[in-house]
Chains A and B, each alone.
Chain A
Amino acid sequence: MKINTSAVAGTLESSDVYVKVEPCETLEIEIESVVYNQFAEQIEATIKAVLAELGVESGKVSVNDKGAIDCVIQARVETAVKRAGGEK
C-alpha cells in the first residue's frame, strides 16, 4: 500500500526523532542524524522494518534524528504513517 498524504510525528528534542512521510512512487528513506556515523545503518533497518510491518510499499520517509533509540524511532515512524492514513 501507499502513503496518500503527508504527515509528521516526533520532535527535535534530544533522544527523539522528527519523522516526515510523504507520497512517493517508490520507497525512499532519507536520514539525518546526530549519530549518523555510528547508527545510520541501524536507523535505516529499523525504519524499513516498521514500514514492512505496516505494509507500506512506497512513500518518502525523512527523519531528523536527535539520538533516538530504536523503540522511539519505531514509534515515531508508526505514528507518522498512521497519521498519513497509510494504516492497513
Chain B
Amino acid sequence: MRRSMLFIPGNTPNLLMNGDVLGSDSIILDLEDAVSPAEKDAARILVRNALKHLHYKGCEIIVRINPIETDFWQKDLDEVIPLCPGMIMPTKVSCANDVKVVSDYIAEVEARHGIEKNTVKLIPLIETAMGVENAFNIASADERVAAIFLGGEDLTADLRCKRTKEGNEIFYARCRMVNAARAAGVDVYDTPFTDVDDIDGLYKDAQFAKSLGFTGKASISPRHVEGINEVFSPTQADIDYAHEVMETIRIAKEQGKGVVSLRGKMIDAPIVTRAMQVIEMEKAIFGGVEDDE
C-alpha cells in the first residue's frame, strides 16, 4: 500500500537516517533535483550505503535517478540496483522508449548481480507535455512499470504557464494521467503540494486528486504526510461497507444465489473489486497493530 511518497534529499545524512520515521508509506531518496551536479557522486555513494546499512522498517524505498540525457543515471543504477530498492523513479520520461532504456539497463545490472529479473519496479516521473500525451504508452511500456507519477512543477514550465495553488493549469494532465494509468492497470501518483505551511490547502489538493482517481500523492514536506495518508485512506464508512459487501456475497454464495443486492443496490463485479481493495488497505493500515495485541 502506498498512499504517500516523501522526498528525502540524497546527500543529507541526518534525513537519510530518519527517513523511515516520518510516517510516509514510501520514501523517495532523491539523486536528482535535491543534489547539485558537483555532489552527484557523493549522494550516489551515500544513498547506496544507507540502503545497505539502514533498515527502513515498514517503509518502501524509491530511488529517484537522474535523467537519461545526463551522464549520471547509469552510475546511479550501478550503485543502487544491487541493493534492490522497491522502485526506481526515472525522471523527465516522455515516451515509452525512455522507460525501455532504463528498464533494459536495470536488467543488465540485475543480471550482473544475480538478481532475479524485474525485481526492481519502475515509477516513471512524467513532467513534460510530451510525457503527458504519451502517458498510456509510458504506463504500459514495460512490465516493471508499477505506477506513474505526475510532476507539476516541470510540467508547467514546459507548458509555459504559472503553477498555482488551485492547479487549473494541470487539470488536463491530472485527468490524462489517471486515465492512462488505469487503462494500463498501474497506480498513479499526484504531484506534491508545494506550500509547506498551508495544511488546509494540502488537504484540499489531496482530496481533489483523490476525487480524480489518484492512488496517492507525493510530498516534499514531512508535514504533509499525515494529511495525505488520511485523505487516501478508506474512511470507516468505506471499510464497514466493504465488509458488508463481502459478507453479503458470502451468504449469497452459501445460499446459491446468483444476483445479490445490498440496500437495494445490485452488487456487481466492480463493487466487489472495490470492496476487496478497501479491505486490503484496511489490513495494510491497521493490520500490524492488531497483530500486536
Contact = CB atoms under 8 A, between A and B. Distances in A.
Any A–B CB pair closer than 8 Å: yes
Interface of A: 9-10, 13-16, 68-72, 74-76, 78-79, 82-83
Nearest to B38: A83
Chain B interface mostly helix, strand, loop or mixed? helix
A70 B50 CA distance: 10
B47 to A, nearest CB: 9
B14 A75 contact: no
Interface in B1-20: 12-14, 17
B63 to A, nearest CB: 15
Lowest 10 A-B CB distances belong to which pairs?
A71-B53, A15-B14, A71-B49, A75-B46, A75-B49, A79-B42, A72-B13, A15-B13, A75-B45, A16-B13
A68 B14 CA distance: 9
Interface residues of B, number: 14
A78 B54 CA distance: 18
Contacts of A15: 13-14, 17
Residue picked from A15, A75, A76, A79, most chain B C-beta under 10 Å: A75
B45 A78 contact: yes
A68 B42 contact: no
A78 B53 CA distance: 15
Given A13-B14, A69-B53, 17 more contacts: A13-B12, A16-B13, A16-B14, A69-B17, A70-B53, A71-B52, A72-B13, A74-B49, A75-B42, A75-B46, A75-B48, A76-B46, A78-B45, A79-B42, A79-B45, A82-B41, A83-B41
A71 B14 CA distance: 12
Nearest to A72: B13
Interface of B: 12-14, 17, 41-42, 45-46, 48-50, 52-54
A68 B42 CA distance: 15
Contacts of A76: 42, 46
Chain A interface mostly helix, strand, loop or mixed? helix
A61 to B, nearest CB: 16
Contacts of A78: 45
Contacts of A75: 42, 45-46, 48-49
B18 to A, nearest CB: 9
A70 B52 CA distance: 12
Contacts of B54: 71
25 contacts: A9-B42, A10-B42, A13-B14, A15-B17, A16-B12, A16-B13, A70-B53, A71-B49, A71-B53, A71-B54, A72-B46, A74-B49, A75-B42, A75-B45, A75-B46, A75-B48, A75-B49, A76-B42, A76-B46, A78-B45, A79-B42, A79-B45, A79-B46, A82-B41, A82-B45
A26 to B, nearest CB: 26
Contacts of B13: 13, 15-16, 68-69, 72
A71 B12 contact: no
